[in-house]
Amino acid sequence: MTSLAITVVGHDRPGIVAQAAEVLSGCGMNLEDSSMTLLRGHFAMTLICAGDADAAQVEAALQPLVNGSLDVTVREVPEEPDRPTLGSTYLVTVHGADRLGIVARLAAVIADAGGNITDLTTRLSGTLYVLLAEVDVPQSTDIEALQARLADVSAELGVDCTLRLLENDQL
């Protein structure tokens, strides 16, 4: 039983998900978790599948998808257990004039504080840059210090940053 991590990136058109899923099904690979979206108009998909085929077999089976406009990678990955969250989930929201270094510098602040980004979206809309990051923050982290450091770095970058505790999903 192997677990494969597969990425498909490139020119968007109807049918890519259908074709990729058909190939995986044909190889006996069960499509488990996946994430697909359009990034600047490009098709981008990452998925984990499991079954008895190996990376080479699946890569070969996906070749028809690679027609010069799509890139496919297939890698065997070990099974990862679902880890419990470290502490609380916070949302970092950033918006401002686009420039080099926004993600790099703010992600470094988060990492330095022991935070783990579990979900990230960035979007460039004209000259407006938006960054949204869900962060798993351990109980030991000094939240006020993290907030202050984010504020300092954001001010240097000329962007606005908010750090908010996300409500847990108590229904």
CB-facing half-sphere around the CA of 110: CA atoms within 13 A: 27
Decide: helix, strand or coil at residue 118.
Answer: strand
Q: Which stretch binds other proteins (CB under 8 A): 2-10, 46-54, 60-68, 93-101?
A: 93-101
85 lies in the site for other proteins, by CB under 8 A: no
- Least spacing, CB of residue 61 vs other proteins, in Å: 31
Q: Which stretch binds other proteins (CB under 8 A): 46-54, 56-64, 66-74, 158-166?
A: 158-166
- Least spacing, CB of residue 135 vs other proteins, in Å: 9
123 lies in the site for other proteins, by CB under 8 A: yes
Contacts 24+ apart (CB under 8 A), 83-88: 85/118, 85/136, 86/114, 86/116, 86/136, 86/137, 86/138, 86/139, 87/136, 87/137, 87/138, 87/139, 87/140, 87/141, 88/136, 88/137, 88/139, 88/165, 88/166
Q: Which stretch binds other proteins (CB under 8 A): 55-63, 76-84, 102-110, 130-138?
A: 130-138
| CA–CA gap between residue 130 and residue 95 (Å, rounded) | 4
133 lies in the site for other proteins, by CB under 8 A: yes
Q: Which residue from 21, 31, 103, 130 is in contact with other proteins, where contact means CB under 8 A?
A: 130
56 Rama sector, left if φ>0, alpha if ψ -120 to 50, beta otherwise: alpha
Looking at beta carbons only, is 59 or 134 nearer to other proteins? 134
77 lies in the site for other proteins, by CB under 8 A: no
Binding-site ranges for other proteins (CB under 8 A): 91, 93, 95-98, 119-121, 123, 125-130, 132-134, 159-160, 162, 164, 166
